[in-house]
């Protein structure tokens, strides 16, 4: 068996991938005596998830011409992403995020990304041919919040995909630290209008729909389909997910796992869903893999490191297995 | 906003703070290949808790003229305690404690404190003006067990506070390794007679009261008030607490958290209570903050590092929150 | 009290002990940036368990003439095993195993033991006098799978014990990576016919008995006694154990502990049982210590490091104890 | 002996102190798997050096209202600095620097300080009474490069000191990453005109004087005195230093030590000089302590951690000493 | 600037890359409590060196279908190698090497590579088109020692290159642990006859030439050219190198650096030479970059991690530089 | 080849072995964030050195009935010492030492050994039969300083050896922290009178002889022989050693190695000498092995871990060797 040759991607995505500095133990960050060095970014997390499950994924983004930027590219390339469209920006540093678990149930993330290379993404970085070659274009609500040029890049990619008939997947991913709820609601609602597949949390759904707190989840999902996407999935963390897929409601029960890091679960869920979708998997398989990928992601302290390979999916069914 | 200027303390406390050497993983200590270096002491743990919650606290104690002593002072000073009354004793080394978790439910603590600088605390170290300036004097049952001079220092401080009308808070904190149950019972009972606020575990209450095993908790608390203190709080670890405050019984339900280190929970509870008391907080607030501080303390592997700042108290109410 | 002089062993065992390289955190092994260095082997794990509980144990096996071999001997000697019969083989390297937890419930073990020194064990390595001097000979189903000479060594030891009236304890310990189910079933069934005490998991029992899946556990145990052993114990991990001892059925309830590493629990269980047996303990004590030792083993990340000393057994009964 | 009470400072300084993330091993930063967390800033490094040598030092600066900011204040307070004038700025994050040794002789430092709290220092942060109370005001050429408000703060502090007759010490500390050589030359030359004591490297001296490369060192120093400062010290790293002090030239030979981290040596040198100056030490003592402090600083991987206490200065004279 | 697209390679190489487990501190390996996880292989070390200096390199080899194999591919891909021709072999594990520094001057390497996936390399793995597309084919004397099929693969690759007019570079790299001196001498001499560029140590030159100990170095080099290669370079570690290039002798002086790990220096030297050769660099540049790359390699504890990027070569000229 | 059976010892020694807590990096101890856990004691260091070089050694001493005590016994047993005569003292804790390197040339050691188990050694612990069975009894000047009973134990052992004709080796090992120069001089002079082999530093020689500073080294050695011992060796650290052996002077040149930890070099030197002496080695071999063992000891951060095995002695002659 030969290592996979590089071919046309199943999923193309664009966004910012940062170096992630992570406190190794629970507690106030200032007591951390070392920080673990990793990387993360919602879009590349998803792209790695696709790759682990046997798909091909390409990532578009910018890093600084510095060691942290080289780390990002080495990790993404090492995980099998197609990074040929990545840009090394000599004018700005690679962004950082600093993550600490304050208690076993509260995680804190701070960013050093103002003016970062990643936030300088612009429409020229988006290779139209690459977008057109994809089976799915995936974008998130983080990128448009990074800068006006990044927002224009997302819009350009979506427009290109819409024009070429490439389905657009959107994960709303609202980040409070980056923009106001009002700004976000407008932009994300507009983007949703151009998407075919939509991932959101309950809070994000309410934000975009300006829905009152008591609206039932399934109604929220259904209202989101009214914006355009035929496939809407509401992620509920430890409580699973609900979805409206081509008009029919679905409930996705959660896996019971020992969670150590909730960050990345949403990206994993979307990766699981899309990985099956590009293989032509039926709804049940898509949802099952989505839930499994989310469960894997939270058992490992890292945003994407725990994502499952296809042959590992079966491990979830077992109970204290020792394989030897 | 300017960093807090040093003013008169809300709480003054005295005791021994040691260097804490902690096995990083569960299991027999002799398999530990490194030990984490920290510090700890029931009284300074409490003082840090007060400071984190916005109060001012001063600590009286001795350390050796050695690097471990300088570490203790740097940590306490760095956490914002007023250590102007601390004494550097050139004649004796700073005490050590060695902590290991033998199983997930059994923690073992050994001391190298015989003849330590901290145990050489004496009445001359207690600045009467500092005690008189406090809104509360806090002492524990550990200090009188360290040495005759340390016992005299506690008595002197309490006498000074009593004379000046400064309320005395006492945490019984019986340490089997330091003295016999009989010796402890006598001294602690005497101290309780001079205290206004009393913290104890159920076992400590029985020790001091020589109460039979079947006495209900509330009755134990009530009997303790008969010794003098109008506020008696019985700490029950994972099961919360019960209290008699100015004659009325209260039940404090526990928080459900993933506990990794039970040491320091009692100090945190007392800190939460006293921090609100000095702000004039009502009973409900005092008990709520006490319980919350205890919950924070046990989620972090350290005796005091997990203590909450005031703006963090709200995190307990959330469930797998990611703040970003 | 003087450190135990070396005398005749309570238990003699033979097998391969390897260096164990262990990923420090949950997740795919390739993300591990360091590996912890330890040692492990089913037979020496058991021997250490015997020693911790106050018995004397001797270990027969081979290591390479290399630093990993010297590590194995230093660890076993340091834990108090009698290693005088160990052989240093200059012709082959010490075997390795690599252990990673893929999720909180799935552990993966890989071996570098093909052609290892340990697998070159041969009948000449088995000192008949040492076997005859033992109160119990313990063997496992791993050793016969290592090589033809290792298989012959086990057979020779068992024959010697049978001849000398030394009871033989056998833990089936089927390892899929080493031989086929069919090969194993034949050899293990034959060995069981020469054993007095038999430890097995439910799956191993079915393998040897070629029993259908629906056979009740107690019936499996009883069928195993029909092969020869008067004492048969079926280990069920988190669910405890069942046993037929001299014709009578027993159920062993599990301890509720926070398990972090299931590897070694079976060895611990057998160690607890045999440690009491050689002291002449009654059935109830044997089973209680077996269950307790298994519980201790799983709370610590290591195959044997968590095994209890006799005075630690009482810790299991406590709940969040701090001993100080 | 009682821990030092807080009194009027010997040295007041102002600047930015950042969290320092440091690769633990030599090599390209992207291969670092963890980063050590420390703190650093030229001015606070110097202030710690003063404190270690028995002086009193106050630090003025801003940190963010975040855990990194709390770390900076805890470290500086723990090291005994007077941080009462420090400002916690809720509008901006604490700055970061990332340090790696690319080879044993080349160290790389990157900053995440654009828009940081520390760079928002402004004249209002400079308490005139604190400046006036000092025996020396120390500033560096870094602070004016951070922002217009920071530059104004330095000018204000210097003006206040000049007016009050407090001697001004200036370390040119040119940072290429922060401003152009031309901008720096103008501002630093102007500042030098208001300084009484001037520290510089040879390159910095040439920058400010626009001196040709062949100008001898002593002439450079003498030309700098012509700008105003009566005491000029040119630091030469491993080669010692030259100085013109009140018109007379001095040569300072270096100590032979095993250097592991050159960063901080200049701050240490200045701290040693000023610490003796405020004690009224003669020239020879000032220069000896300056050289010794520099030697101590480079033997430890940290910007200030290796700074000597007064009783440690004698260790330099020894050779492979073991004190026990 | 866009990340380099994958094009035809400058250098194609084939061999085994293993996981490297490295003791973090000097001393007997058995005292190591953790091992650092890295990767290494003479051929891929060279390929990474080419890539760092701006060239393109492709690597042919086998890894196991296991996490260690995935690590090797992730690292090589992450460093920018073209690994499209790599084979994942489901039948055998990825090889391991274990490295320890016994003293500051003696390094010990042990292998677990018998039967490894890498040693199962075979002629079918060598894509003739890839070899023909290269500007240089690089092979080492390690690969033919791994197995008969691996030897056949090297011969096939060399024959293909010879036929296509692609220059062949050979590093003799004799490994005592893999084959006898006699076997090696024959095979390596034969390979040298097909090579255009030859790298060797003095010992290896003597081995192949069966030259007496007193033969001067230059004569050894000249005798090697008589076997075929027009470019012969004798590497002398800390003492530099000598070369005969197109008939003319050259002496390469060493760089003075603080060496912490000599392993990989030879691969770095060859990488530096070939990287310049493929750019058409003159002899002086080739030798200078070769020496510089070797110097970089030894300052970092890793077989290839310290290799320089082109813009870092200038750092060697500096002395205790801090870049900030 | 079978692991060495336990037989009569070549060397018997007695003393205190402590747990050694060691700062992992150079700098003030209070900045250490973890401490490495090891063990050490002059006498057991020597005994390990004997064992590594192929001899047999027995150690007499006390440890506490605690995990640190069990660690000491596990390490000594694991290194092959005969610890059958070791005593576990339930009344006192195992002693600690804390070691930090303040600079690359100054090491600081602090003890927590007052009242330790090790210092409670007493004459009853000394098994006369064991002493009589030895080929050499080795004692140091540390043990008599620990307590009156320890002093009596040393005297008893020496008397027993003298009576039985077992040669006595004494290493003066003066420890300033334990007793005054005057007390030491008397006791050590008396002990020297009963010794056959004497190891000392120059300072220790002067202390015992009350010799003026200008006495040449060889004269000091000769004066020491006048006290009794026919073999006197003066250790000079990096400068080698001088000796008077049976009346003839010898000069031992040092090895040039990169020293990272001078502690333990003296014990290693003595071990090398005695290991050859018990094998009947000639003077040149004894001195060569002594110097080599000392050189090995200082290249590793640990008091004894770097001690050489016999087959490693040849590594010193090599230069940057890679063995593979």
| Chain D residues in contact with C34 (beta carbon < 8 A) | 33
pLDDT at residue C324, rounded to an integer: 74
Q: Determine the distance in angstroms separating the CA of D306 from the nearest CA of chain F, rounded to an integer.
A: 6
Q: Find the CB nearest A30 among D34, D35, D70.
A: D70
Q: Which one of B23, B28, B177, B258 makes the best mutation probe of the C interface by having the most chain C beta carbons within 10 Å?
A: B28
pLDDT band at F130 (very low <50, low <70, confident <90, very high): very high
**Residue D249 in contact with residue D242, Cβ under 8 Å?**
yes
Q: Which residues, numbered 47 to 86 in chain E, qualify as contacts with chain A under a Cβ-Cβ cut-off of 8 Å?
A: 65, 73-75, 77-80, 83-86
| Chain B residues in contact with C322 (beta carbon < 8 A) | 107-109, 262-263
C33 touches chain D (CB under 8 A): yes
B92 touches chain F (CB under 8 A): no
Residue F226 corresponds to which tokens in the numbers above? 């006048």
A251 touches chain D (CB under 8 A): no
Instruction: Mark whether B267 is an active-site residue.
Output: yes
Positive or negative, the CA dihedral D48, D50, D53, D55 is negative
> Does residue A60 have a pLDDT over 50?
yes
Report chain C's mean pLDDT, rounded to a whole number.
Answer: 94
> Does residue D233 have a pLDDT over 50?
yes
What tens digit of pLDDT does each residue of B3-12 get? Answer: 444 478 999 9
What tens digit of pLDDT does each residue of F177-209 get? Answer: 899 999 999 999 999 999 999 999 999 999 999
Size of interface C-D (CB pairs under 8 A): 3
Of the CA atoms within 13 Å of residue B113, those in its CB half-sphere come to 31
Report chain D's mean pLDDT, rounded to a whole number.
Answer: 94
pLDDT band at D318 (very low <50, low <70, confident <90, very high): low
pLDDT at residue F260, rounded to an integer: 83
Q: Which one of C93, C112, C113 makes the best mutation probe of the E interface by having the most chain E beta carbons within 10 Å?
A: C112
| Chain F residues in contact with E26 (beta carbon < 8 A) | 260, 299-301, 306
Distance CA B17, CA B78 (A): 14
**Residue D26 in contact with residue E299, Cβ under 8 Å?**
yes
Q: Which residues contact D298 (CB under 8 A, 6 or more apart)?
A: D257, D259, D260, D261, D262, D264, D265, D306
Give DSSP secondary structure letters for C141-162. SSGGGT-HHHHHHHHHHHHHHH
Q: Determine the distance in angstroms separating the CA of A317 from the nearest CA of chain B, rounded to an integer.
A: 24
What tens digit of pLDDT does each residue of D202-227 get? Answer: 999 999 999 988 889 999 999 999 99
**Residue B41 in contact with residue B18, Cβ under 8 Å?**
yes
pLDDT at residue A319, rounded to an integer: 61
* Window from B32-36, B203-207, B209-213, B276-280 with minimum mean pLDDT: B209-213
Cβ of B109 and C301 within 8 Å?
no
What tens digit of pLDDT does each residue of C99-110 get? Answer: 999 988 889 999
Give the CA distances from residue F96 to residues A79, C145, F99, F117, in Å, rounded to whole numbers and listed in that order.
Answer: 47, 46, 10, 11
Cβ of F305 and E28 within 8 Å?
yes
| Chain F residues in contact with D305 (beta carbon < 8 A) | 27-28, 31
| Chain A residues in contact with C106 (beta carbon < 8 A) | 315, 318, 320-321, 323
* Backbone torsions φ then ψ of F284, nearest 5 degrees: -60, -40
> Does residue D319 have a pLDDT over 90?
no
Residue D142 Rama label (left phi>0; alpha psi -120 to 50; beta) = alpha
Residue D235 corresponds to which tokens in the numbers above? 């630091």
Cβ of F257 and E105 within 8 Å?
yes
Residue A21 pairs in a beta bridge with A37, A98
pLDDT at residue B320, rounded to an integer: 62
Segment A302-315 mean pLDDT? 94
Prediction ipTM score: 0.93
Distance CA C280, CA B209 (A): 44
Distance CA D93, CA A111 (A): 9
- As a whole-number percent, the residues of chain A with pLDDT over 90 amount to 86
Q: Determine the distance in angstroms separating the CA of E231 from the nearest CA of chain A, rounded to an integer.
A: 34
| Chain E residues in contact with D26 (beta carbon < 8 A) | 260, 299-301, 306
Q: Determine the distance in angstroms separating the CA of B119 from the nearest CA of chain F, rounded to an integer.
A: 15
pLDDT at residue C319, rounded to an integer: 61
Distance CA E28, CA E22 (A): 12
> Does residue D1 have a pLDDT over 90?
no
Residue F319 corresponds to which tokens in the numbers above? 């230069």
Report chain B's mean pLDDT, rounded to a whole number.
Answer: 94
pLDDT at residue F136, rounded to an integer: 98
Distance CA B73, CA B63 (A): 8
Q: Which one of D16, D28, D45 makes the best mutation probe of the E interface by having the most chain E beta carbons within 10 Å?
A: D28
E88 touches chain A (CB under 8 A): yes
pLDDT at residue D5, rounded to an integer: 42
Report chain A's mean pLDDT, rounded to a whole number.
Answer: 94
pLDDT at residue C257, rounded to an integer: 82
Which positions of E are catalytic?
267
pLDDT at residue B214, rounded to an integer: 87
* Backbone torsions φ then ψ of B319, nearest 5 degrees: -135, 110
Can you list the residues of chain E whose pLDDT is less than 50?
Answer: 1-6
pLDDT at residue B77, rounded to an integer: 97
Segment F72-76 mean pLDDT? 98
What tens digit of pLDDT does each residue of C43-91 get? Answer: 999 999 999 999 999 999 999 999 999 999 999 999 999 999 999 999 9
Which positions of F are catalytic?
267
Q: Nearest chain B Cα to A142, which residue?
A: B324
Segment C245-261 mean pLDDT? 90
What tens digit of pLDDT does each residue of C215-227 get? Answer: 899 999 999 999 9
Cβ of E70 and C35 within 8 Å?
no
Q: Determine the distance in angstroms separating the CA of F196 from the nearest CA of chain A, rounded to an integer.
A: 52
Residue with tokens 């060598």: E126
Residue F43 corresponds to which tokens in the numbers above? 């006498």
pLDDT at residue E266, rounded to an integer: 95
pLDDT at residue D156, rounded to an integer: 98
pLDDT at residue B1, rounded to an integer: 37
Distance CA E205, CA B40 (A): 64
Q: Which of A89, A125, A267, A303 is labelled catalytic?
A: A267
pLDDT at residue E309, rounded to an integer: 97
In A230-310, at which residue ranges do the beta strands (DSSP E only) sit? Answer: 231-235, 241-245, 248-252
* Window from B70-84, C152-166, E274-288, F4-18 with minimum mean pLDDT: F4-18
pLDDT band at A323 (very low <50, low <70, confident <90, very high): confident
Q: Find the CB nearest C37 among E34, E70, E93.
A: E34
What tens digit of pLDDT does each residue of A236-253 get? Answer: 988 899 999 999 999 999
pTM of this structure: 0.95
pLDDT at residue B318, rounded to an integer: 67
pLDDT at residue F319, rounded to an integer: 61
* Window from A224-228, B80-84, C2-6, D266-270 with minimum mean pLDDT: C2-6
pLDDT at residue A213, rounded to an integer: 85
pLDDT at residue D316, rounded to an integer: 84
E319 touches chain D (CB under 8 A): yes
- As a whole-number percent, the residues of chain D with pLDDT over 70 amount to 97
User: Domain B11-15+42-91+118-306: which topology?
Assistant: 3.40.1190
Segment B158-187 mean pLDDT? 97
What tens digit of pLDDT does each residue of D15-66 get? Answer: 999 999 999 999 999 999 999 999 999 999 999 999 999 999 999 999 999 9
């Amino acid at each position: 068996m030969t290592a996979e040759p590089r071919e046309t991607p199943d999923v193309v995505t664009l966004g910012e991938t940062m170096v992630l500095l992570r406190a190794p133990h629970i507690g106030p960050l200032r007591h951390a005596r070392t920080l673990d060095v990793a990387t993360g970014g919602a879009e590349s997390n998803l792209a790695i998830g696709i790759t682990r499950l046997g798909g091909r994924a390409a990532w578009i983004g910018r890093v600084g011409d510095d060691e942290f930027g080289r780390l990002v590219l080495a990790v993404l390339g090492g995980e099998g992403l197609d990074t040929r469209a990545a840009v090394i920006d000599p004018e700005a540093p690679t962004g950082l995020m600093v993550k600490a678990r304050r208690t076993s149930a509260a995680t804190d993330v701070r960013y050093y990304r103002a003016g970062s290379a990643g936030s300088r993404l612009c429409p020229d970085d988006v290779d139209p041919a690459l977008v057109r070659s994809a089976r799915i274009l995936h974008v998130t609500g983080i990128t448009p919040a990074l800068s006006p040029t990044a927002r224009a890049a997302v819009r350009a990619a979506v427009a290109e995909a819409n024009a070429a008939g490439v389905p657009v997947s959107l994960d709303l991913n609202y980040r409070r630290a980056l923009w106001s709820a009002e700004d976000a609601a407008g932009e994300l609602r507009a983007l949703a209008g151009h998407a075919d597949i939509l991932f959101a949390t309950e809070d994000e759904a309410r934000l975009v729909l300006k829905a009152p707190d008591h609206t039932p989840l399934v109604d929220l999902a259904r209202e989101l389909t009214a914006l355009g996407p035929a496939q809407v999935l509401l992620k509920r963390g430890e409580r699973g997910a609900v979805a409206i897929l081509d008009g029919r409601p679905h409930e996705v029960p959660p896996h019971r796992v020992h969670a150590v890091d909730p960050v990345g679960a949403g990206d994993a869920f979307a990766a699981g869903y899309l990985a099956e979708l590009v293989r032509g998997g039926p709804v049940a398989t898509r949802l099952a893999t989505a839930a499994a990928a989310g469960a894997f992601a939270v058992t490992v302290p890292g945003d994407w490191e725990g994502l499952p390979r296809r042959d590992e999916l079966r491990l979830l069914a077992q109970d204290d297995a020792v394989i030897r």
